[in-house]
Amino acid sequence: MKAKSSAHYQREFRKRLREMGLVKKEVWIRPEYAKQLQAIEKQLREPGMNPNAGVMDMEERANSWSTAELHKALGGSGLNAEVEFIDGVEPAIHLSMNDYGDLPVFLTVVGDQVIVESVLWSVNDVQDVHAFNETVLRTHKYFPLSTVSLDNLGDDGDYYHMFGALSATSSLQNIIFEIEVLASNVIQATEAYSEHLK
C-alpha cells in the first residue's frame, strides 16, 4: 500500500470541516496569542455555543494545576470522555475519548508541565523497527502539538507513545484543546504509519 501524504490528511480534515457546515476565515494576530486563538476556534466549531462563554478562561492561571484539581475540572467541562482518577505515587487521569472510539488517553501533572499521552503500539508490532524509527523522525512534525516517544513499560517491553505537553498554568480550555488534538493525531498517526505494522 502506498503511503498517504500529509496533504491527503489535510484534504480529508478540511472536507470533514466543510461537511460540518464550517467556513474558513483568515485572521491576523500577534504570534503569542496563537494558542488562545486555536482554543477559541475549537469552541466556535460547536453548534449553538455562546461565543463569549469561556473566552476569559483563555488566560494562563495564576497557580499550577494539580492532577486532582484537573480531574475535577475535566469531569465538569463537557469534554466528551469518561474521566477516571488513578491514585498512586504519581496520580494520573485516564480519559476514554468517546469521539475517538473510546481511545485511552492519560494525563498527568509533572512539575510545571501537563503531559497528555496515548499508547500507539508495541515495538513487537513493527515490521522493521529501524525503518519505522527513521520514518517517524522524518514525519512526526506533521502532527501538530504532538510527538512520538519510545518508552519501556517494564515486563511488557517497549511501546511507542504519542504525547503533548503544556504549562501547568494553562487554561482549562487549552488543556482540553491539547487532549483533543492528541486524540486526533493518534488516529491520524495510526493511519499514516499502518504500512509499517505487522
| Residue 172 one-letter amino acid | L
Q: Is residue 51 part of a domain?
A: no
C-alpha to C-alpha distance for 92 and 69, rounded to whole angstroms = 11
Q: What residues of the chain score a pLDDT lower than 70?
A: 1-10, 43, 46-62
- How much helix, strand and coil, in percent to the nearest 5, is found in the chain? 45, 25, 30
Structurally, the chain folds into a number of domains equal to 1
Domain assignment of residue 189, yes or no: yes
In a domain, 31, yes or no: no
What SS3 state is found at 6?
A: helix
Beta-carbon contacts of residue 32 (< 8 Å; ≥ 6 apart):
none
Which of the 8 DSSP states describes residue 30?
-
Task: Look up the domain containing 69 and give its range.
Answer: 60-196
Report if residue 99 sits inside a domain.
Answer: yes
In a domain, 112, yes or no: yes
Q: Could you tell me if residue 19 is inside a domain?
A: no
Residue 70 CA to chain centroid, in angstroms? 16
Identify whether 25 is part of a domain. Answer: no
Distance CA 95, CA 105 (A): 5
What 3-state class would DSSP assign to 165?
Answer: strand
Secondary structure (3-state) at 137: helix
Integer CA distances (angstroms), 122 to 28, 47, 126, 139, in order:
42, 38, 7, 19
Question: Residue 148 maps to which CATH number?
Answer: 3.30.1460.10
Whether pTM > 0.85 for this model: the answer is no
pLDDT tens-place string over residues 59-106: 556 688 999 999 999 998 989 999 999 998 889 999 999 988 999 999
- What is the per-residue pLDDT for 141? 84
Query: Residue 81: inside a domain, yes or no?
Result: yes
